[in-house]
Copies of this chain bind each other. A is one copy, B any other.
Amino acid sequence: MNITLEQAETVIAAAKRKSIEINTKMVISVLDAGTNLVALARMDDALLGSIDVSIKKAKTSALLQMDTATLTPLVKPEGPFFNLEHSNGGLITFAGGVVIKNSAGIVIGAVGVSGGSLEDDHIVAEAGAKAVL
């Protein structure tokens, strides 16, 4: 069960609306449950560095079926998974990657958002993920 392009576009549209509402410039990436890219949108004047960061946040969430905000304490020097970022061609473990579930609670993909503060990134990603329910 994987996210469709129509669902991914719904995620991106909702994330963009939230991003405009809180006055940020984001890159929004949507991956399927197999970690393959489905859709991406870079808002005008978003940081170029956010393209790869948003993809890697979504990849990290899809690979581990976990929001990256939940993962953050686990990869600190005192955490159990310190430096997990070296695996899988590079992970990003701070907030902004959110798992996308369907109405049956099954993971169908993940969304990654980068460009604002960690709080902003997470809020925008969550607004996107919730739009498919």
Contacts and interface: CB of A to CB of B under 8 A. Distances in A.
A83 B57 CA distance: 12
A80 to B, nearest CB: 5
Interface in A1-25: 4-5, 8-9
Interface of A: 4-5, 8-9, 32-44, 47-49, 51-53, 56, 60, 62-65, 72, 75-78, 80-94, 117-118
So how many copies of this chain end up in the complex? 4
Contact of A63 (B32, B43, B48, B82): B48
B64 A81 contact: no
- Chain B CB within 10 A, most for which of A36, A76, A77, A93: A36
A34 B48 contact: yes
